[in-house]
């Protein structure tokens, strides 16, 4: 098998470690929907990644449903995409072990997300947090996925996935795993915190005012944009004028991504506008785009059994792809199977 013979296949995932944010929507889910129907698409709620930091067991299942509800409400369709939660497909964890034995400690030590998350506490964090990128590589490669849409913060992990695939192929003299492409494009690859334009908008930031949650109502969205930090200057006349203005650039990029435009087109529409004009326009746009999704999410969340059914069906389809790839991997590695037909 050479690198051109892999069927184009998309895989991506989101952790159920808190409520979905506008960063997840614009950097990931909206783009997942855009790729649906163009090639085979597999989207996962990566619950085993979530537990690399403490999760309350009672909350975890609910958060898993909430991410699934976000997928469904944003337009992922279980008849067009495979939707499931990671822990229902054991092959992810099994392949991750093999990749733990392929990846080098030196590679893991270079992962900036681990360094950021562990900070000065690196001795006390879980071993899982350190090994996390090998599980992510397994998520992707257990489907021999060729394309992975992610936000900018995940680029290094997809590059590590390629390194793992390349080393596996080299060590076992095979072309079994594809060198997966990260798909990082559009204006929303890194949505920033509304209170500090140098930090990423994340689920876990300390203040709720720094992020837009996919479940926020219209009033909250308007209030958060109104209070968003900016510099005192109005919008520039051209996009070049956004250089070194992280907060201004972030709001323009959010507008662009929500409305499927380029930042250039946003500036052309609001050249030199003051914040008193631009912020309410942005809030109106965000409400118009997000309110229908959050209403739909609430509808799905009112019927958890239906979400569980959809995830269960997706997991079955996922296992049908993953299990034969795992078996072939075991054969390549030389792990004995008593019944070669299983
Ligand atoms: P996580 O919430 O860390 O599981 O992230 C799930 C997906 O959302 C990944 O593809 C991230 O890159 C993307 N994502 C999360 N936060 C942001 C953000 N602030 N801007 C752009 N993409 C993001
Ligand atoms: N690590 C990703 C994040 O924190 C989530 C993730 C896990 C993922 N496995 C994946 C993303 C596989 C893409 C493909 O955002």
**Residue range 279-294, pLDDT digits in tens:** 999 999 999 999 999 9
Q: Atom 9, ligand 2: which residue's CA is nearest? A: 136
What is the pLDDT at residue 3?
Answer: 72
What DSSP state is assigned to residue 337?
-
The answer to the question of whether 23 is labelled as a binding residue is: yes
Quick one: CA dihedral 245, 203, 182, 103, positive or negative?
positive
Ligand 2 pocket check for 52: Cβ under 6 Å: no
Residue 58, both tokens = 């009672």
Residue 206: is its pLDDT beyond 90?
no
Q: What is the pTM of this model?
A: 0.96
Q: What topology does CATH give the domain 3-183+303-341? A: Rossmann fold (3.40.50)
Residue 157: is its pLDDT beyond 80?
yes
The three-point CA angle 242-231-211 to 5° equals: 90
Say which ligand is closest to the CA of 27: 1
List the end-to-end C-alpha distance of the chain, in Å, as a whole number: 23
Bridging pattern class, strands 9-14 and 181-183:
unpaired
Distances (CA, A) of 296 to 51, 258, 302: 27, 18, 10
Cα 267 to middle of ligand 2, angstroms? 33
Cα 318 to middle of ligand 1, angstroms? 23
**Across 71-91, average pLDDT:** 98
Stated as kind and residue range, the H or E segment containing 112 is helix 112-118
Name the residue ranges covered by the structural domains of the chain.
3-183+303-341, 208-299
Q: Which residue in 193, 166, 145, 112 sits closest to 13, CA to CA?
A: 145
The answer to the question of whether 324 is labelled as a binding residue is: no
What is the pLDDT at residue 128?
Answer: 97
Q: How far apart are CA 134 and CA 136, in angstroms?
A: 5
Say which ligand is closest to the CA of 202: 1
What is the pLDDT at residue 2?
Answer: 66
Q: How far apart are CA 120 and CA 310, in angstroms?
A: 41
Ligand 2 pocket check for 22: Cβ under 6 Å: no
The answer to the question of whether 139 is labelled as a binding residue is: yes
- Please, what is the average pLDDT of the chain? 95
The answer to the question of whether 212 is labelled as a binding residue is: no
In degrees and rounded to multiples of 5, residue 82 shows phi and psi of: -85, 120
Q: 86 Cβ partners below 8 Å, 6+ apart?
A: 13, 44, 45, 46, 47, 48, 49, 92, 139
Q: Which atom of ligand 1 is nearest to the CA of 153?
A: 12
Query: What share of the chain has pLDDT > 70, as a percent?
Result: 99
The answer to the question of whether 16 is labelled as a binding residue is: yes
CATH class assigned to 208-299: mainly alpha
Q: Atom 14, ligand 2: which residue's CA is nearest? A: 12
Q: Provide the pLDDT confidence category of residue 342 given band limits of 50, 70 and 90.
A: low
By annotation, the residues acting in catalysis are 117, 200, 203
Each residue of 31-52: b (16+ CB within 10 Å) or e? bbbebbeeebbbbbbbbbbbbb
Residue 1: is its pLDDT beyond 80?
no
Residue 227, both tokens = 């209070």
Concatenated DSSP letters of 284-299: HHHHHHHHHHHHHHHH
Q: Provide the pLDDT confidence category of residue 341 given band limits of 50, 70 and 90.
A: low
Cα 44 to middle of ligand 2, angstroms? 9
Identify any residues that bridge with 14 across adjacent strands, giving them in sequence order. Answer: 45
Q: How far apart are CA 133 and CA 144, in angstroms?
A: 16
Question: 155-171 and 91-100 helices cross at what angle (nearest 10)?
Answer: 70
Please report where in the chains the tokens 């992610």 appear, as a residue: 150
Cα 275 to middle of ligand 2, angstroms? 35
Q: Which residue in 217, 197, 222 sits closest to 285, CA to CA?
A: 222
Q: How far apart are CA 252 and CA 40, in angstroms?
A: 32
**Across 147-163, average pLDDT:** 97
Q: Provide the pLDDT confidence category of residue 122 given band limits of 50, 70 and 90.
A: confident
Q: In sequence order, what E strands does the chain have?
A: 9-14, 40-45, 81-85, 147-149, 181-183
**Across 263-269, average pLDDT:** 97
Pocket of ligand 1 (CB under 6 A): 14-15, 23-24, 27-28, 150-151, 153-154, 188-191, 200-203
**Across 17-38, average pLDDT:** 96
């Amino acid at each position: 098998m050479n690198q051109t013979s892999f069927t184009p296949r998309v895989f991506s995932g989101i952790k159920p470690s808190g409520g979905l944010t506008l960063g997840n929507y614009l950097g990931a889910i909206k783009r997942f929907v855009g790729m649906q129907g163009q090639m085979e698409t597999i989207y996962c709620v990566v619950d085993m990644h979530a537990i690399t930091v403490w999760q309350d067991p009672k909350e975890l299942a609910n958060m898993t449903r909430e991410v699934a509800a976000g997928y469904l409400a944003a337009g992922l369709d279980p008849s067009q995409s495979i939707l499931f939660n990671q822990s229902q497909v054991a092959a992810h964890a099994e392949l991750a072990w093999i990749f733990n034995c392929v990846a080098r400690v030196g590679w893991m030590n270079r992962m900036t997300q681990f360094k950021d998350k562990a900070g000065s506490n690196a001795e006390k964090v879980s071993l899982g947090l350190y090994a996390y990128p090998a599980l992510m590589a397994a998520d992707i490669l257990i489907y021999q996925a060729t394309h992975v849409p992610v936000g900018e913060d995940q680029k290094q992990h997809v590059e590590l996935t390629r390194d793992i695939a390349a080393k596996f192929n080299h060590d076992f003299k095979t072309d079994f795993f594809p060198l997966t492409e990260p798909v990082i494009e559009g204006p929303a690859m890194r949505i920033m915190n509304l209170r500090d334009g140098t930090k990423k908008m994340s689920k876990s930031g300390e203040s709720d005012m720094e992020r837009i949650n996919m479940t926020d109502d219209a009033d909250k969205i308007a209030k958060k944009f109104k209070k968003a930090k900016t510099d005192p200057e109005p919008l520039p006349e051209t996009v070049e004028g956004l250089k070194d203005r992280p907060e201004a650039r972030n709001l323009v990029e959010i507008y662009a991504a929500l409305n499927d435009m380029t930042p250039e087109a946003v500036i052309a529409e609001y050249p030199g506008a003051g914040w008193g004009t631009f912020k309410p326009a942005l809030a109106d746009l965000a409400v118009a785009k997000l309110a229908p999704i959050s209403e739909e999410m609430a509808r799905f969340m009112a019927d958890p059994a239906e979400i569980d059914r959809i995830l269960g069906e997706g997991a079955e389809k996922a296992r049908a792809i993953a299990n034969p790839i795992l078996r072939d991997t075991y054969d390549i590695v030389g792990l004995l199977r008593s019944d070669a037909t299983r």
